[in-house]
């Protein structure tokens, strides 16, 4: 599991060490980790270390101090280092170390700006150390102009962000333009939650956590990401004497005359995600199509009350005028069984929900949900603040909310938040969300009652619905990636994602080398 923290949490964890006079030692560790990462990147790109051109953009706070100390290490290894001081001051000890190591220093002025931007653009590495966890809002003044000029230029080398890309909010991932997109973010003491939520994740590139000795002081993480061994431990496995009913039956209320394919794709996703059986309820014409595509599915035109299942999937491919289907969706949501409520079910939700109801909106659907709750939002405003949006939606509705996107976020009401980024942009294809709903429905049917499995991982009963949704998002994302890799990185259809699920499941379930993972977890790149 990757744990991520708010800037405030990390700063609080630093406090006891700062009080003990260890501030400089913390900064030295951070700077050394940053410098080592730069060296690795240069070696990987085949650049000679001696004479490599490094430009550090250093703000006036401790983030700038980290950058200056790191650049001093790099200068001492024979690199040509330039510091651009973006504020009216600089970290005194960092600046002194940099100058002692032979680095060149420029102060940012309006006149010097075009030349300094050109120098940064021509460098082998640009280190962005303008703002870190102490930032208030985005970049301002000439620092903003410099970052804009570098962003607009054609960069020769790569960008490494110190702790976080300047302008990205460490807690929320909100990003006030301009932000220089990093190829790598080297972050200290623990990943910052803003690096694992869009749009912050767009700017962070790969994320590397450097331990600096504060780890034992960190509290419960603000955000979690399930990784291979977690997924392996959460995946349900059939007992030796399992039969189809004990494995879990999923009831699917999806599809309509207008969108029959959604029902098929939801069923295919569920069948490929290990469910014991799928019961489909819906119009006869849609049921015919489901039967033709998935003969394993048992179809009926009955009611929710007549159908014995362990979980429900409702809403995919349903419109506001599909009254019979909407009645079934409402009945399923009221049934006390776990439910994944997708697409067309979202406008038909009751006012008060519970954590075992998992809502799966994309940003546009979440904005509409907020409208109905009297909160003015649109797709863009949700996309600009995904973490705040998903948290607010869960706390406000009482449901578990999964917000789909390049990074998929899941929030338990008043509980844990997960961030999964296992997929590929090729997943942005029609019907992909229906397959995801099927996968989550299948997992709810199989694992929803297995409280013990989640307790072993420290997940409380009410929080397990979010863990199941995050597991579903991870499997779906990885299946999408596998499907694309099977065609050499080419495009995929939603059906291909479903087809790739069983093998993805098999591969994930083999990753249970938990002990080895735990020992290495602090130094692992996140992606
Ligand atoms: N504590 C430790 O020992 C360790 C800390 N570590 C490192 O320290 C970083 C946090 O450092 P920090 O607290 O000094 O804040 P930082 O992010 O450098 O920025 C604050 C400065 O910028 C200014 N400023 C603010 N907003 C601005 C804006 N929008 N536009 C322009 N300027 C703005 C603000 O000035 P003010 O506005 O207050 O006058 C202030 O001077 C952290 O991310 C990590 O890298 C590690 O080395 C581990 C040990
Ligand atoms: N850029 C992206 N990168 C990775 N995954 C993505 C991206 N865009 C969308 N996805 C994923 O693809 C799926 C799309 O779902 P959805 O928006 O409901 O599509 P549809 O309604 O067409 O089925 C979600 O699982 C989402 O997380
Ligand atoms: K930074």
- Please give the Cα distance from 295 to 240 (Å, whole number): 25
- Residue 138 assigned to a binding site: yes
pLDDT at 516 (0 to 100): 42
**How many C-beta atoms lie closer than 10 Å to residue 413's C-beta?**
22
- Please give the Cα distance from 234 to 229 (Å, whole number): 9
Q: Is the dihedral of CA 386, 391, 394, 400 positive or negative?
A: positive
pLDDT at 518 (0 to 100): 44
Q: 414 CB contacts (<8 Å, ≥6 apart)?
A: 394, 395
Structure-token pair, residue 177: 């333009």
pLDDT at 526 (0 to 100): 43
> Which helix (H) or strand (E) element contains residue 476?
helix 464-485
Cα 110 to its chain centre, rounded Å, is 38
Please report which ligand is nearest the Cα atom of 32: 1
Q: Closest Cα to atom 19, ligand 1: which residue?
A: 134
pLDDT at 512 (0 to 100): 67
pLDDT at 513 (0 to 100): 52
Parts of the chain belonging to CATH 3.40.1190.20? 243-523
* CATH number belonging to domain 243-523: 3.40.1190.20
What residues are in contact with ligand 1 under a 6 Å CB criterion?
14, 18, 23, 26-27, 30, 59-64, 66, 131-140, 143, 162-163, 188, 212
* DSSP code string of 261-314: HHHHHHHHHHHHTT-SEEEEES-HHHHHHHHHH-TTSEEE---STT---SEEEE
The class level of CATH for 2-224 reads alpha beta
Spacing, Cα 389 to ligand 3 middle (Å): 25
pLDDT at 148 (0 to 100): 98
Q: Is the dihedral of CA 394, 400, 404, 405 positive or negative?
A: positive
Q: For a substitution probing ligand 1, which of 20, 72, 135 has the most ligand atoms within 8 Å of its CB?
A: 135
- Residue 190 assigned to a binding site: no
| pLDDT tens track for 279-289 | 999 999 999 99
CA dihedral 60, 142, 204, 82 (to 10 degrees): -60
Spacing, Cα 298 to ligand 2 middle (Å): 28
ipTM of the complex: 0.94
pLDDT at 520 (0 to 100): 43
24, HSE (Cβ side, Cα atoms, 13 Å): 6
User: N- to C-terminal Cα distance for the chain?
Assistant: 13
The list of the chain residues with pLDDT below 50 reads 514-527
Q: Closest Cα to atom 46, ligand 1: which residue?
A: 27
Spacing, Cα 127 to ligand 3 middle (Å): 8
For residues 321 and 291, is the Cβ–Cβ distance under 8 A?
Answer: no
Spacing, Cα 93 to ligand 1 middle (Å): 15
Parts of the chain belonging to CATH 3.40.50.10260? 2-224
| pLDDT tens track for 496-513 | 999 999 999 999 998 865
């Amino acid at each position: 599991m990757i744990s991520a923290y708010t800037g405030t949490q990390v700063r609080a964890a630093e406090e006891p060490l700062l009080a003990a006079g260890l501030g400089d030692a913390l900064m030295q560790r951070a700077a050394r980790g940053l410098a080592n990462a730069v060296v690795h990147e240069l070696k990987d790109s085949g650049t000679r270390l001696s004479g490599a051109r490094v430009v550090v953009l250093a703000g006036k706070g401790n983030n700038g101090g980290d950058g200056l100390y790191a650049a001093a290490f790099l200068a001492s290894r024979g690199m040509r280092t330039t510091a651009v001081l973006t504020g009216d001051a600089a970290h005194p000890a960092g600046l002194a170390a940099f100058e002692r190591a032979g680095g060149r220093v420029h102060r940012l002025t309006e006149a010097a700006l075009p030349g300094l931007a050109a120098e940064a653009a021509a460098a082998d590495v640009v280190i962005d150390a303008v703002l870190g966890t102490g930032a208030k809002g985005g970049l301002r003044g000439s620092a903003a102009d410099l970052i804009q000029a570098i962003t607009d230029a054609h960069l020769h080398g790569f960008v490494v962000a110190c702790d976080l890309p300047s302008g990205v909010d460490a807690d929320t991932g909100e990003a006030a333009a301009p932000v220089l997109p990093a190829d790598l973010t080297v972050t200290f003491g623990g990943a910052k939650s803003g690096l694992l939520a869009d749009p912050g994740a767009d700017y962070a590139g790969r994320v590397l956590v450097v331990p600096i000795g504060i780890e034992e002081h960190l509290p419960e993480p603000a955000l979690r990401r399930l990784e291979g061994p977690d997924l392996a431990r959460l995946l349900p496995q059939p007992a030796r004497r399992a039969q189809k009913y004990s494995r879990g039956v999923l009831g699917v209320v999806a599809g309509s005359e207008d969108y029959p394919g959604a029902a098929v794709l939801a069923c295919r996703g569920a069948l490929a995600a290990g469910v014991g059986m799928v019961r489909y309820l819906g119009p006869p014409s849609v049921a015919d199509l489901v039967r033709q595509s998935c003969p394993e599915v048992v179809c009926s035109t009955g009611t929710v009350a007549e159908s014995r299942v362990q979980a429900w999937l409702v809403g995919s491919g349903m419109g506001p005028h599909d009254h019979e289907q909407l009645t079934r969706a409402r009945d399923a949501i009221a049934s006390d069984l776990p439910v994944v409520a997708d697409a067309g079910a979202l406008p038909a939700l009751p006012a008060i929900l519970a954590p075992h109801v998992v809502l799966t909106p994309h940003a546009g659907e979440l904005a509409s949900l907020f409208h109905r709750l009297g909160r003015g939002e649109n797709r863009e405003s949700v996309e600009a603040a995904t973490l705040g949006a998903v948290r607010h939606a869960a706390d406000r509705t009482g449901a578990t909310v999964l917000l789909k996107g390049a990074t998929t976020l899941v929030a338990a009401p008043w509980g844990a938040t997960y961030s999964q980024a296992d997929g590929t942009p090729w997943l942005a294809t029609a019907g992909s969300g229906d397959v995801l709903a099927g996968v989550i429905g299948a997992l709810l049917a199989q694992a929803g009652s297995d409280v013990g499995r989640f307790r072993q991982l420290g997940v409380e009963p009410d929080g397990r619905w979010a863990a199941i949704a995050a597991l579903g998002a991870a499997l779906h994302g990885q299946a999408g990636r596998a499907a694309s890799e099977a065609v050499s990185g080419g495009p995929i259809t939603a059906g291909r994602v479903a087809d790739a699920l069983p093998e993805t499941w098999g591969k994930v379930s083999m990753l249970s080398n938990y002990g080895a993972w735990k020992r290495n977890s602090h130094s692992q790149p996140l992606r």
